[in-house]
Amino acid sequence: MTLRVDWATHKSARYAVENWHYSRRMPMPPLVKLGAWENGRFVGVVLFGRGANAQIGKAYNLRQTEVCELVRVALRSHSAPVSQICARAIKFLRKVAPGLRLLVSYADPSHGHVGGIYQAMNWSYVGLSQGGVEYFHGGRWKHSREVLGGAFGGRSKIRDWSALKKRKTPGKHKYLLALDQDMASQVEVLAKPYPKRNSAPESSTRHGSTVEVGGATPTSALQLQAAD
């Protein structure tokens, strides 16, 4: 079996996310969109982006060009382990963004995820992120930044949001992957024991992935797009 990772078009990335990822939604651009092919058959995408937190690198004294988030893994039925596909995608990303020093990703416990893929790849677990607030609008629950604006300078497109239903959301399991030795030393002191799965298993490492990953800031590579 031959596994290849390369640039994916926006069209193919959107199709993969909307059909093979539990969220059914593309994350906020800009994005690095990498596709995976097994024996020439397209099996999905791994997406890197800014995520929802514009200050994600601040705690690690990193500039926006030095950290990014793994924001989606959307795969159909496939043969290679998800961890192998992600590792190939990270290797590709490092080649096009040599200044990148840290990757961040999240696993959502509200969907039964504990980050098994990151654990298989030896990412460092640093605990739960801070919870947030969601608003119900347009037939679905939306992150507060999508409703109120403010993410990376964005403005709210909803005029009367004060009357919307809202709910608090729990934190997500946060994982870090250091890409150089100095950063590894910083991350090492933050590492905690991996969380364990309670009951329902997380998505298989060999079949359609429903794992959601990531959030961070841009690297120069985040401005690179595959030709659509």
pLDDT tens for 214-225 read: 433 233 334 333
For the chain, list residues with pLDDT below 50: 151-154, 199-228
Backbone phi and psi for residue 187, each to the nearest 5 degrees, phi listed first: -70, -35
What's this model's pTM, rounded to 2 decimal places? 0.78
Q: Which residue(s) pair with 137 in the sheet? A: 140
Q: For 3-131+171-223, which CATH superfamily applies? A: Gcn5-related N-acetyltransferase (GNAT) (3.40.630.30)
* Per-residue CA distances from 166 to 149, 158, 171 (Å): 15, 14, 16
Q: How many CB atoms sit inside 10 A of residue 34's CB? A: 24
Residues of the chain with CATH 3.40.630.30: 3-131+171-223
How many whole angstroms separate alpha carbon 48 and alpha carbon 61? 20
Q: Are 133 and 144 in contact (CB under 8 A)?
A: yes
Average of per-residue pLDDT values in the chain: 83
Token pair for residue 2?
A: 């031959």
Predicted pLDDT of residue 149: 63
